[in-house]
């Protein structure tokens, strides 16, 4: 039986629904992965025939689901309810799946720890003193804890893959445009996409195929042809000594060995422009963010003062009070790199570097079917910035934001536990090469399935 099938009765069977509620409540006290959750009353669910009939799932709280709040982890949207549903979510609902809650995140997706959520703290299910990663930390933690079989996240620079790696689950960032962005609160429009966190490769694949598709509401969506791939050659990114923490370096070596054991042709690769990826990425991401977040001004919806003397006053108050410091920092940075006189030096140059990086990746994919690279240079770190400053966290996006710069798909795969903490490894394929990623991940999964944190249980739904 497929893992997902075990979830089809947790909401329809009264006894199981009760146990489910207890299980979720128990975990939520420890990890705080969900900002809002509600299980439908037992008996109120119509049985449906869809492939995900009655399966509960969580949605990152920057993706719109009508009737649920859409806080984006920000005070400025704390009380706003989404008046519509994102295309990806609507597609899943058509298969019978049910939204059970909204997952915590770094404010507007800006961060790698979920500590930047203005509303709630989310802990790693393996060690609650540590972060779950980010920005889709709530989604990954909820899946790792077994609260839901899968959750939707968004990935702008690694926001699905990095927390998936930190929580020991699968995290897919699809090819740009293969999944509609309609309903995804924009952070960096040309880089991001809706992604999937799941416990198994099979569930990841099922959900991916459910959410993807051309969308009349998103003119950047593209066609996807699911061809059965044959993966022979895996390019393994050569990583400089000292760029990875001891644990991650050890885990990375293990992953390489596993590829050899599974019979793949392993080839060491280098990406010459790699050192420019992060600066170019942050230039583009913050520039787009500065425009995308301009709409939040306390008018029409969102945090607004009780009294304001003028419209300008109202907007300024709302933004000053509503945004956290990381968000303000990125808005300011993005505003600056677009200013006349600076735009060529920063923004336009970054877009050109983006072209170069794509060219280098295209070249690599001429003789590699997929490439392997780390997800993040460290294992899950402690809350706060004592281990990694905000600036270091940004620099650490290097392995994940590569796929956002090129538009390629990337999949974080649970690799090993190091000192009790999960460490993941990442695979990338050329655009629309998702099936290749699933093929490799499934081969690895057979031998090395996703780990389980203490307290994880499937008993209650047996």
Partner 1 sequence: MNKEELLTTASLALLELEEGEVDRLGEEIARMLDYFEMMTKLDVDGLEPTTHAFQKTNRLRADVLNNNNNNNINNAFNRNLIMENGNDVEDDFFVIPNVL
Partner 2 sequence: MSDTMVNDKYETFVGLEIHIHLLTESKMFCGCKANYGDEPNTNVCPVCLGYPGVLPTVNQKAMKMGYTVARALNCRLSRKTYFERKNYFYPDMPKNYQISQFQEPVGVEGFMEFEYNDEIKKIRIHDVHLEEDAGKMIHAGDMSLQDFNRAGYPLLEIVTEPDLKSGEETEAFLRAFRRMVRYLGVCDGNMDEGSMKCDANISINTPGAGLGTKVELKNMNSPRFVRRGLQYEAQRQAKALDEGVKLIQETRLWNENRDITESMRTKEMANDYRYFPEPDMPPFCPDDSFMADVEKEQVELPLARKHKIMRKYGISSEQAEFIHDEKVNADYFEQVMALGADAQAVYTWLSSDVQKELNLLNMTLTESPLSPERFSELLKLMDDGKISGKIAKQVLIDVFEEDRDPSAIVEEKGLSQISDPQAIGAVIEKVMAANEEVVKAIREGEQKQKGFLVGQIMKETGGRAAPALVQKILSEKLR
DSSP 345: I
x/- string (CB under 8 A) for partner 1, residues 426-455?
-----x------------------------
| Ranges assigned E (strand) in 75-179 | 98-103, 123-124, 127-131, 150-155, 170-173
Binds partner 1 by CB under 8 A, chosen from 356, 442, 448, 452: 356
Q: Is 83 in the site for partner 1 (CB under 8 A)?
A: yes
From the list partner 2, partner 1, none, partner contacted by residue 343 (C-beta under 5 to 8 A by kind): partner 2
CB 254 within 8 A of CB 153: no
| Helical segments of 153-229, H only | 161-167, 201-211
The interface region with partner 1, picked from 109-117, 118-126, 138-146, 316-324 by CB under 8 A, is 316-324
What gap in Å lies between CA 312 and CA 309, rounded to an integer?
8
Q: Is 407 in the site for partner 1 (CB under 8 A)?
A: yes
The single residue of 74, 113, 117, 159 carrying the catalytic annotation is 159
User: How many Å is the Cα radius of gyration of the chain?
Assistant: 21
Point out which residues pair with 248 in neighbouring strands: none
Cα 277–Cα 190–Cα 213 angle in degrees, nearest 5: 125
CB 451 within 8 A of CB 191: no
Q: Which helix (H) or strand (E) holds 87?
A: helix 87-94
Does 159 qualify as catalytic in the annotation? yes
CB 394 within 8 A of CB 278: yes
User: Could you tell me the smallest distance in angstroms from the CB atom of residue 442 to partner 2?
Assistant: 32
The single residue of 33, 135, 139, 415 carrying the catalytic annotation is 135
CB 365 within 8 A of CB 175: no
Q: Is 308 in the site for partner 1 (CB under 8 A)?
A: yes
From the list partner 1, partner 2, none, partner contacted by residue 185 (C-beta under 5 to 8 A by kind): partner 2
Determine what percent of the chain falls in helix, strand and coil, rounding each to the nearest 5: 40, 15, 45
Q: Is 329 in the site for partner 1 (CB under 8 A)?
A: yes
Site residues, partner 2 (CB under 8 A): 62-64, 70, 72, 77, 80, 82-84, 86, 181-186, 189-190, 216-220, 287-288, 290-291, 294-297, 299-301, 311-312, 315, 335, 338-340, 343, 347
From the list partner 1, partner 2, none, partner contacted by residue 340 (C-beta under 5 to 8 A by kind): partner 2
Q: Which of 55-74 are b and which e, b meaning 16 or more Cβ less than 10 Å from the residue's Cβ?
A: bbbbbbbbbbbeebbbbbbb
User: Of 144-183, which residues contact partner 1 (CB under 8 A)?
Assistant: 176-177
The interface region with partner 1, picked from 74-82, 106-114, 241-249, 435-443 by CB under 8 A, is 74-82
Binds partner 1 by CB under 8 A, chosen from 18, 232, 339, 419: 339
Q: Is 363 in the site for partner 1 (CB under 8 A)?
A: no
Cis amide linkage into residue 254, ω under 30° from 0 = no
The three-class DSSP label of residue 370 is strand
From the list partner 1, partner 2, none, partner contacted by residue 456 (C-beta under 5 to 8 A by kind): none
Q: How many CB atoms are closer than 10 A to CB 123? A: 20
From the list partner 2, partner 1, none, partner contacted by residue 384 (C-beta under 5 to 8 A by kind): none
User: Could you tell me the smallest distance in angstroms from the CB atom of residue 437 to partner 1?
Assistant: 18
Q: Which is nearer to partner 1, 17 or 287 (CB)?
A: 287
Binds partner 1 by CB under 8 A, chosen from 47, 219, 228, 366: 219
3-state secondary structure 29-84: HHHCCEEEECCCCCCCCCCCCCCCCCCEEEEECCECCCCCECCCCCHHHCCCECCC
From the list partner 1, partner 2, none, partner contacted by residue 345 (C-beta under 5 to 8 A by kind): partner 1
From the list partner 2, partner 1, none, partner contacted by residue 62 (C-beta under 5 to 8 A by kind): partner 2
x/- string (CB under 8 A) for partner 1, residues 86-125?
----x-----------------------------------
Q: Is 386 in the site for partner 1 (CB under 8 A)?
A: no
What gap in Å lies between CA 363 and CA 129, rounded to an integer?
42
The single residue of 8, 33, 54, 60 carrying the catalytic annotation is 60
By annotation, the residues acting in catalysis are 60, 135, 159
């Amino acid at each position: 039986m497929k893992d997902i099938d075990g979830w089809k009765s947790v909401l329809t069977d009264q006894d199981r629904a009760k146990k489910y509620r207890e299980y979720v409540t128990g975990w939520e006290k420890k990890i705080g992965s969900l900002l809002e959750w509600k299980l439908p009353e037992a008996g109120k669910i119509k049985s449906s025939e869809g492939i995900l009939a009655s399966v509960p799932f969580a949605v990152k709280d920057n993706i719109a689901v009508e009737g649920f709040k859409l806080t984006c982890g920000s005070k400025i949207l704390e009380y706003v309810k989404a008046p519509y549903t994102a295309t990806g979510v609507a597609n899943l609902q058509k298969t019978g799946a049910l939204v059970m809650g909204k997952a915590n995140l770094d404010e507007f997706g800006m961060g790698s720890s979920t500590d930047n959520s203005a509303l709630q703290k989310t802990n790693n299910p393996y060690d609650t003193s540590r972060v779950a990663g980010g920005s889709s930390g709530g989604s990954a933690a909820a899946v790792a804890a077994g609260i839901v079989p899968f959750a939707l996240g968004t990935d702008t620079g690694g926001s699905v893959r990095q927390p998936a790696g930190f929580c020991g689950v699968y995290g897919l960032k699809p090819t740009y445009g293969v999944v509609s962005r309609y309903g995804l609160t924009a952070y960096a429009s040309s880089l991001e996409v809706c992604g999937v966190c799941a416990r198994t490769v099979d569930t990841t694949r099922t959900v991916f195929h459910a959410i993807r598709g051309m969308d009349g509401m998103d003119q950047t969506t593209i066609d996807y042809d699911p061809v059965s791939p044959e993966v022979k050659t895996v390019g393994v990114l050569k990583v400089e000594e000292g760029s990875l923490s001891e644990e991650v370096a050890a885990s990375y070596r293990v992953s390489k060995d596993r590829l050899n054991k599974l019979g793949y042709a392993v080839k060491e690769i280098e990406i010459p422009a790699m050192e420019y990826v992060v600066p170019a990425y942050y230039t583009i991401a913050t520039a787009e963010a500065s425009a995308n977040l301009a709409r939040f001004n306390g008018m029409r919806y969102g945090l607004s003062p009780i009294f304001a003397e003028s419209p300008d006053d109202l907007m300024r108050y709302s933004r000053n009070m509503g945004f956290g410091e990381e968000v303000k920092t990125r808005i300011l940075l993005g505003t600056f790199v677009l200013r006349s006189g600076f735009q060529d030096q920063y923004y336009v140059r970054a877009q050109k570097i983006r072209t170069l990086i794509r060219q280098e990746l295209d070249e690599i994919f001429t003789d590699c079917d997929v490439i392997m690279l780390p997800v993040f240079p460290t294992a899950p770190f402690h809350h706060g910035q004592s281990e990694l400053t905000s600036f270091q966290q940004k620099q650490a996006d290097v392995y994940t934001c590569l796929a956002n710069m090129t538009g390629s798909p990337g999949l974080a795969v649970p690799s090993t536990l190091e000192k009790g903490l999960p460490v993941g490894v990442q695979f990338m394929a050329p655009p629309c090469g998702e099936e290749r990623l699933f093929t490799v991940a499934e081969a690895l999964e057979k031998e090395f399935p996703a780990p389980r944190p203490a307290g994880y249980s499937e008993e209650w739904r047996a």
